Structure 1
Amino acid sequence: MKRRFPLHVHISTLFLALLLIVGGVIGGIGYTISRDILKSTADAMSTRIGRETLREFTNLIGPAEMATRLMSMDEITRAESLDQRLENLGFIREALSNSPELSSLYVGYGNGDFFLVRRIWNGDERKHYDAPEQTAYVVQSIDHERTAPRGRFIFLDSSLATLRSDERPDYATSYDPRTRDWYKTAMTTSGQIKTPPYLFYTNKQVGTTLANRAGATSAVVGADILLATLDQTMAKQKVTPGTHTVLVNRTGQILAHEDNAKVIRLPPTADGRPVLATLSDFGAPVLAQLSPLIQGANDEMMQTRTLEVDGETWYVTVSPLKLEGAAPLFLISAIPEVELMAAAHTLMRQLFVAMALVIALAIPITWSLARAISGPLRKLAGEADAIRHFEFSKPVTVDSPVLEVSELALTMDSMKRTIRRFLDISMAVAAENNFDRLLPRLLTETISAADADAGVLYLTDNDVLLPATGLLSDGSELPPSAPRPDSITGSPLLHAAIQTRTARSARIAEADIDALGLVDAVKASGASHAIAVPLLNRQQHLVGAMVLLRNGETDDARLSFIGALSGSAAVSLEAKALIRAQKLLFEALIQLIAGAIDAKSAYTGGHCARVPELTKMLARAACDQTSGLFKDFSLNEDEWEAVHVAAWLHDCGKVTTPEYVVDKATKLETLYDRVHEIRMRFEVLKRDAEIACLKAIAAGKSEASAREKLSAELARLDDDFAFVASCNEGGEFMAPDKQERLRSIAERTWLRTLDDRIGISHEEKERKERSPAPDLPVLEPLLADKPEHRLERQAQDRMPENNRWGFKMPVPELLYNKGELYNLSVARGTLSEEERYKINEHIVQTLIMLSELPFPKHLREVPEIAAGHHEKMDGTGYPKRLHREEMSPLARMMAIADIFEALTAVDRPYKKGKTLSEAIKIMSFMKKDQHIDPDLFDLFLRSGIYRDYAARFMRPEQIDEVDISAYVSPPAEPASPLA
């Protein structure tokens, strides 16, 4: 056997690290000393740069200061006309020529006059002023000699000869020197003033403005100075190639930089004015961080600091530059430490070279030792990464001379196999959604993991463990046997496992066999030992147990693995049991709702129970097709559940429909049949006729004549009431002549002597108050449509045109109209327009109710399937007026099921159930009129579903022969029959 050594034998190889540490300390000391020297040098250079920049700035503005002071004492400050001012052009030209940085001289007068001479530098400026080609100077003048101010631009060549003079009235009206800061500041200051540097608009260069008040006059002389040469000064002062040297004002605007093009920023719009770049948008991250520092910088002292920007260290100095009569400026110098410390880095490299020569001889030795130690560790790291990525296909094969590394490799290999086995079992159990299939799957996987010969799974039922399934290792079922009621306490092994809440293993005892009903299991497997595994949920409550039978003892590692596996199995078992319980509860609730709807009205009977069966029969027939239109149609388990739920809930909206509307058997029926009120009025009229007859006889008229008249009147009243009563029964069609006779009967009157506004509900009283109460006694029509018969539709009963559900049903104006004549005149059936809408509205409520339910993802189609059974293929149905292509196949199937069930139902008191032939004939007309899906109706007939349904749900006398050849269409193969 190869000899192995502990890891501490190899610690001697660390001497290389000691050499590196010593060399690093020496190099660090040298680097620190060099860095301090270089930083001191950088401070001194920053101070020098500040002095040179200030001197350069002073040299720039000196000639301009002199020209401004001289000009403030010149006659031009007292000139009152343009001609007088033009006489000083020679002096101004000399002043401009002697100072290259001076771009313009000008005078602002107290009356608003303005006189400026500007030097034209290049073609861009000529283009800006639309000046002639030879233009060297531009005179800009505003004078007030006339009633209105006059503005002029005069273009001069280098000899001051006039090239062109332009009138600029807009210039005179838009510019007033007295409103400018330089004028106002100079008027309130005894000496010369300087504005903070800014960007000149005409030449897009940085400059400053000087101004002097002309003695005691109201004139102010100004000059614009360019600071372009400061950019060259900045370039000369760079300490290192990467150094940033910039001159800024207090607000962070950059006034000078070695690259003048970066100082000016052009806005994104073509007509926008250029602006000075700021520290924030200059493009240098280190300068961007200095913007807050400049705003609070000291005006007297230089500041230094070190900044870390984007992983790079910078040495920064900020020096104030103070000018007479102007706000202070600040010179910023930012030096990258990597360049500043270049000499220190060179020293460090030299030290590294020296140290490398020292340890050169030790490298072969240290390399060999490192390879011997780190090679297996690297392999183990790769194996650990493979485990992290759930890759368990290969075993761990690592060989190392280090004892600890070799033991770690063996442990990792065992761990890898265990995790793989655990995950395989957990995934297999978690993938099973059917609770009844889960139990044997769970037991099979656990038997395999425990290397057991058989096993029994128990589930708790009212704190009693009952066997759920028993299997041998080959998957065959164990003979069933019942445990004793006290199985937990009667089995020493299982009782101990439950008490300690851990898996336990022991030789199986007679008490265990007897208490757990394992007689047949032990005989079948020949086991001598058992493993008891309690199954505990998240709350550590017992949900079940497993007893695994083995033909030998179990080691601690396997027992620990089974214990860990049992926790996952218990959680999965509990989750699946909860899901199963929720589904059972949901199933019971939907059947409860459907049963309540059927029980609510005798008109629906078992409708809600029969439609699901017929819908599923039609869906199953479509799935069974192997050719033709429906050969590709299929439903998975989740989709079958959606069909089931939708079919049972397809009429859930009927819970909102009043019973007296659904059950309305006659036209005058509400909560009761109001024909009895009409009968009583006829009775009153008959009594009135008899009284009139007796009064006539008493008055001396012929009794025979009076009795004959009475007999005729009573016969007419009886006939009229019989007609009204027959109208009340409803029917397929009411002819116009009958409606006319109703109106004629309604015109008869009867005498009411009692107040009809007492003893009634508050709501009815409010409706009656829409019209004034008549004086009693009052004659009233025999049949009336009174104001109190009209129930207004409230806001909540209306349907917005653009409702979020897409309903497109015409809504009657009234909620209900209980008018007697109105209801008796209904042309077909017993329902008025308002009542018909109220019944049809059940599908609206169905969709609204189902849309509000938080269905899981696989049941999201339930509202669409359930709420589409009153739609028609031609788009004339309700509630959305959908066309065939807008409906799912299942919704179209349910429409057929709903119609066929309604036609053949025998539990509707208002009609007899149709025979098979009658129902199919009616539906064939609906197919022809594109009211139902023709392809699904053909499948309904060809598959014989109508016969199967009839055998289960229809009475024998309804089942007759049907020749379906007259109703089915020739076979067809459309591209997408279920679209």
Structure 2
Amino acid sequence: MRIRFNISIISAILLIISAMTLATVVSVWVVSSRTAEITADQMFESTSSLAEARLDRLIGNALELANLGATQDTITADLGNGLDAAPLSLLISALTQTPSLYSLYYGYSDGRFLQVISAAGENAVLAAHKAPSATRWIVRTISAATGEGASSDRIQSWTFLDANLATLGERKEPSPSYDPRKRPWYISALDQDEVQLSAPYLFSSLQQPGISASRRLADRGGVFGVDVTLTQLSHFVSQLKISDHGGIVMSDEAGRVIAMSQNFGIHPPLTSLKDVDTVLARGVAQAREGQLGDGTHFVDQDGRKLLVHQMEWNMGMRRIDITVAAPMDDFVSHIFAMQKQIFFMALLGLSLFVTIALFFANRMSRSVVYLAQDAERIRQCDFTGEPPRPSRIIEFHELGKAFSNMKTDLSAYTHALEVSENKLNRLVSLGIAMAAEHNGEKLMEMLLLGAKELANADGGSLYILGDDKQLHFQLVRNDSLGLAYGGTSQTAVNMPPVAMYDGEGLPNHKNVVSYCVHKGEVVNTPDAYDHVTFDFSGTRAFDEKNNYVSRSFITVPLRPRGGDVIGALQLINAREPGSDVPIAFSPEIQNFVEALSAQAATAMYNRNLLEAQEKLMDSMIQLIAGAIDAKSPYTGGHCARVPELAIMLAEEASKVDQGPLADFRFETDDQWREFRIGAWLHDSGKVITPEYVVDKATKLESIYNRIHEVRTRFEVLLRDATIERLEALADGMEQHVADTAFAQRKAQLVDDFAFIAECNVGGEFMKPESIERLKVLADIPWQRNFDDGLGLSYDEMTRYRASGPSQTLPVTEKLLDDKVTHIIEREGTVHKMYEGMNFKLDVPQYLYNHGELYNLCIERGTLTGEERFKITEHIMQTIAMLERLPFPKHLARVPEYAGTHHENMDGSGYPRQLTKDQLSVPSRIMAIADIFEALTASDRPYKKPKTLSEAVKILSFFKKDGHIDPDLFDLFLTSGGYMRYAERFLDAERIDEVDISAYVGA
């Protein structure tokens, strides 16, 4: 069971105020305390880093100079006072550039010593060396010892120079106790190849702490050293402000103090940290003894809480500990005071707020009740009702106004939503319509007009990117000016295209349309008259000429999904509904226009792609047809002329509105294209027909005309007759008798060959007596003395071997013979190829029969039965090939149109022996077109081309015999189609007068 608590506004406000006050006090208390700790830790981190950086700079400079000085050439044996020493200028220059250094010096293996000290106005340095007050540089030299351990003959020279290197004074000291070779910096560097850093120690002459960096000279004749005082480091440490009572201390690994802030107390340098008797020092010593490690730690010392931050600085074998320490009170004392003040102020504020809350609570509750009622009405989508009552509480008053504004806005948004829904519905309907539209011009017009409607634009243009890399106007519309170019307006666009590139070949980004296409970006121009990015000078000139103002523009690229930009859509002057004042195109409208453009671009792209595929398919079809025609020089142009004639007759048939042809129509472009493709492919099966069969002009022709073989045999017979004449004369026959017999024999051979050659040419009919004579002539013997089995191809050799064993030469041959080798067997695949296709042609036993007598006895024409079937087979192959192709639905009848032009109306045609009722009108048209083109063709080697009247007369015989459609034949004549075709494709001498009245209706 749920327990519900009801609480009034007054109680809620009091509770909220109390809770917020308490939360604020606690939050401020906790956050301020934590902030103090974080601030101290960050300050300690920063101060330690600064101290560490100072050490890096001081000692890093010393190490670099030690490395550099050790590489310089050594000086001469006599140092004198050092002013003439070669390295003097180098040492002074180095000290000038690095003021933190104390001195630079050379110590040699023979005891000599050269040192340059930087005084730089330091009183401690001047006092320690008893130098004049203006001294800037102190040059110190020590001469070499003359014997081992000798010092009485050594001289130490001190020379004091001002800033201009002028000598201010000089002092010499005999038998100095200082020997560089015994100093730690010399000893440590002499046996090492790298620079050495000493531990902090007191400089002998200055009595101040410092560190020395030294390195052995390259020739091992001494050591170069650099002295760094820690005085400046102590000054730097004292200047780093931690807190009122905090400070920094630096110590070496032995725990000796190197530098410290004044809050730790002033003590002699290098004393132990334990000897410093201050709270901070003892706290630091305690932290180190406890080995708390790096970072910030809290340490209790003498009842006080200290913050101690430790870190190590390392350089090779040397370590310096950097410790930052401060009492915690330095960071939180003022915060404690602030926290107390906040606490008392919170109590005072709480009392005041409770009094005010009690006063206004009642008024607030009434306002809330009314607002709740108003909210319920809004939830019910009821935007009516009285405005909320005024309230003295600003927030409630503003809330009431907000409720009122919300109702107004919701009402407006609801209306806008309805408008957007209508636009969306319109967008969807336009998308569906554009996807279904196949006409390119209508599709572009739908896009432009639909976009104008969605955006309520006054005008617009559509550009398409051409192959010439220019944007061409396709459509222009403007309501105010009444302009309508392109599309269904029947008015061509006469505007120049927009160049995509300038004269130098660079992209044209000045024009907004070309820029949009180049970048593929939408360009929304609120005011073309206040725009400098693009060149709108042409637009302004148009406006001035037509008294128009082209204010707002939106230019959208037409890019199909995943493709390149194909053009652009540009709308001009958006308007509020019911107003003619141009406004900017809103982002919402831009989204709708972009969506519509994307759909249209995809539809246009798909349409262009489909058209390109159709053009490619048409070109391939025409290429195949052309190749078939080109395959035979005697049939060239047939596949191209038949479609022209078929389309011409189909167009006339589509105009007939009465009689048997009244119901025939090609309603769509797809139907016309389907018929055209069928016409182009009507002889595609001829690809399997050998050229020598299609082009066979004589009976003995195969790959070549074999009449030449027959003639050669006659030459052999004539040669035999000549030999017989000579042999007769040799045997004693009289000359005139032998000559007479030879002349008769020769004349007979000449006549016989002429007869055979005439039979070879072929004709319309061959007489039976000619066939009998051929058979008699065929038996004339002749002698073959050479092996006819040599030089044969593999197929020929196969047939040769099948004819039986080879005969012993010489062999008696017939003048004309039908040999086994002339027979080419059919492999038997033709029946399987055409199974189930309802072909009704008898297939000959053999594929080819090249028998000489068999071919010469052909009664009509030049083709054998096998060859006629091979030519006839082209229509079977046409149907077989085309029916295997996956034609789309709108091209499904292509095989029918291409494969029925040899069918007759009476069922006597081939290959399926279809009747008139089984043949469509387009199929009957194809039959007439194929026959008429063949009759009038002038490129057939086996016949003389017919005149126009002869062709029409022969075609009328086909009509009477029931081979072609009589209605289409009559229409062919009465429409004048026969004459139009003749004027296009026939020579002028073959176009004669035709009396169509003798054939129409007969």
Q: TM-score range by the shorter chain?
A: 0.5 to 0.7
2:521 corresponds to 1:501:
yes
1:423 corresponds to 2:462? no
Q: Which residue of 2 aligns with 1:491?
A: 510
When residues 540 and 745 of structure 1 are mapped into structure 2, their CA distance, relative to the original with a 3 A threshold, is: closer
Q: Distance in 1 between matches of 2:543 and 2:819?
A: 84
Q: In structure 1, which of residues 537, 547, 553 is the aligned counterpart of residue 570 of structure 2? A: 547
Counterpart contact for 1:484–1:516, Cα < 8 Å: no
Change (3 A) 1:371 1:822: farther
Once the two structures are superposed, residues 24-50 of structure 1 have per-residue CA deviations (whole angstroms, 9 ceiling, x without a partner) of xxxxxxxxxxxxxxxxxxxxxxxxxxx
- Structure 1: distance between partners of 2:381 and 2:738: 132
Question: What residue number does 2:147 align with?
Answer: none
Q: Which residue number in structure 2 is paired with residue 852 of structure 1?
A: 884
Q: Is the 8 A contact 1:493 1:504 kept in 2?
A: no
Q: 1:895-935: CA deviations, max 9, x gaps?
A: 00110111011122332221122111111111111111112
> How big is each residue's C-alpha offset from its partner over 1:156-192, in whole Å with a ceiling of 9 and x where there is no partner?
xxxxxxxxxxxxxxxxxxxxxxxxxxxxxxxxxxxxx
Q: Which amino acid aligns with 1:507?
A: D
The 5-angstrom pairing of residues 867-878 of structure 1 reads 867-878=899-910
CA distance in 1, matches of 2:977, 2:537: 52
1:563 and 2:597 matched: no
- In structure 2, the partner of 1:731 is 763
Alignment partner of 1:782 is 2:815: yes
1:573 correspondence with 2:575: no
C-alpha distance in structure 2 between counterparts of 1:846 and 1:613, whole Å? 20
Instruction: Choose from 758, 763, 774 the match for 1:742.
Output: 774
**1:536 aligned residue (559, 562, 574):** 559
Secondary structure at the counterpart of residue 683 of structure 1: helix
Instruction: State the distance in 2 between where 1:404 and 1:534 align.
Output: 34
Say if 1:503 and 1:560, in contact at 8 Å, map to a contact too: no
Paired position in structure 1 for 2:911: 879
Secondary structure in structure 2 of the residue aligned to 1:469:
strand
Amino acid at match of 1:629: P
**Gap runs ≥5 in structure 2:** 1-372, 383-403, 486-492, 574-581
After superposition, the Cα gap between the structure-2 partners of 1:660 and 1:526, relative to the gap in structure 1 and judged at 3 Å, is farther
1:883 and 1:867 map into 2 onto residues whose CA distance is 14
Q: Which moved more, 1:403-412 or 1:561-570?
A: 403-412
Contact residue 640 and residue 680 of structure 2 kept, 8 A = yes
Query: 1:757: Cα distance to partner?
Result: 0.7
Secondary structure of the structure 1 residue equivalent to 2:704: coil
Change (3 A) 1:446 1:410: closer
Do residues 582 (structure 1) and 601 (structure 2) align?
no
Deviates more, 1:783-792 or 1:453-462: 453-462
- Separation in structure 2 between the aligned mates of residue 841 and residue 427 of structure 1, nearest angstrom: 48
CA contact (8 A) 2:936 2:947 kept: yes
DSSP-derived class of the 2:498 partner: coil
- For 1:423, give the aligned amino acid: V
Q: State the one-letter code of the partner of 1:476.
A: A
Could you say which residue in structure 2 is the equivalent of 1:921?
953
CA offset digits 1:693-718 (Å, max 9, x no partner): 10011011222111111111111010
8 Å CA contact 1:484–1:517 kept in 2: the answer is no
1:405-444, aligned counterparts within 5 Å?
Answer: 409-410=414-415, 412-444=417-449
Q: For the residues of structure 2 that align with 1:496 and 1:465, how far apart are their CA atoms?
A: 12
Distance of 1:513 and 1:402 partners within structure 2: 45
| Rounded Cα–Cα distance in structure 2 between residues aligned with 1:760 and 1:661 | 22
Query: Which residue of the partner structure matches residue 704 of structure 2?
Result: 672
Aligned pair in 2 of structure 1 residues 656, 492: CA closer, same or farther (>3 Å)?
same
d(CA) in 2 for partners of 1:654, 1:483: 50
- One-letter amino acid of the structure 2 residue matched with residue 792 of structure 1: E
Residue in 2 aligned with 1:753?
785
Q: Could you tell me how far 1:515 is from its partner in structure 2?
A: 9.6
The question of whether the paired residues in 2 share the 8 Å contact of 1:668 and 1:674 is answered with yes
Are the structure 2 counterparts of residues 872 and 650 from structure 1 closer, same or farther at C-alpha, using a change threshold of 3 Å? Answer: same
Query: Contact 2:634 / 2:940 at 8 angstroms: preserved in 1?
Result: yes
Residue number in structure 2 paired with 1:297: none
Describe the superposition over 1:695-743 as per-residue Cα deviations: whole angstroms up to 9, x where unpaired.
0110112221111111111110100000000000000000111001000
Distance 2:938 2:797 in 1: 42
* Shift, 1:462, TM fit: 5.5
Cα separation, 1, equivalents of 2:777 and 2:540: 89
Partner SS for 2:910: coil
- Which position in structure 2 is the counterpart of 1:644? 676
Note the alpha carbon deviations across 1:591-611, whole angstroms, 9 max, x for none. Answer: 111111111112212111111
Aligned pair in 2 of structure 1 residues 415, 440: CA closer, same or farther (>3 Å)? closer
Percent sequence identity over matched residues?
45
- AA aligned to 1:501 is E
Give the letter for the 1:582 counterpart: Q
The corresponding residue for 1:833 is 865
TM-score by length of 1: 0.56
Measured in 2, the distance between the counterparts of 1:412 and 1:453 equals 23
RMSD of Structure 2 on Structure 1 (CA): 2.9
Contact 1:595–1:609, Cα closer than 8 Å, also in 2: yes
Structure-2 change in CA distance of 1:503 and 1:426 (3 Å): farther
**What is the identity, as a one-letter code, of the residue corresponding to 1:483?**
V
The match for 2:806 is 773
Letter of the 2:791 partner, please give it.
G
Please, which runs of 5 or more residues in structure 1 have no aligned partner? 1-367, 378-398, 971-979
**1:601 match:** 632
1:527 aligned onto 2:550: yes
Cα 1:565–1:516 shift into 2, 3 Å: farther
Deviations 1:406-441 (A, max 9, x none): 577445413321112212322332332122443344
Confirm or deny that 1:796 pairs with 2:804. no
The one-letter code sitting in structure 2 at the alignment partner of 1:418 is K
Q: Does the alignment pair 1:611 with 2:642?
A: yes
Aligned to 1:629: 660
- Letter of the 1:600 partner, please give it: K
- CA spacing shift, 1:569–1:882, aligned 2, 3 Å: same
How far 1:871 moved relative to its partner?
0.5
Structure 2 SS opposite 1:453? strand
Change (3 A) 1:400 1:896: farther
Cα separation, partners in 2 of 1:699 and 1:623, compared to 1, 3 Å:
same
Shift in Å, 1:813: 0.5
Residue 535 of structure 1, CA deviation = 1.3
Partner of 2:727: 695
CA distance in 2, matches of 1:579, 1:482: 26
Work out whether residues 430 and 446 of structure 2, in 8 Å CA contact, stay in contact via their aligned partners in 1: no
* Pair 371,941 (structure 1): closer, same or farther in 2 beyond 3 Å: farther
Q: 2:484 aligns with which of 468, 476, 489?
A: 476
In 2, Cα distance between the equivalents of 1:786 and 1:515? 91
* Shift in Å, 1:564: 1.4
- Distance 1:463-1:481 versus aligned 2 partners, 3 A rule: closer
Are 2:516 and 2:555, in contact at CA under 8 Å, matched by a contact in 1? yes
The offset of 1:523, in angstroms, is 5.1
TM-score by length of 2: 0.55
Q: Which has the larger radius of gyration?
A: 2
Alignment of 1:815-830 (within 5 A): 815-830=847-862
Contact 1:458 1:465 in 2 (8 A): no
Equivalent residue for 1:358?
Answer: none
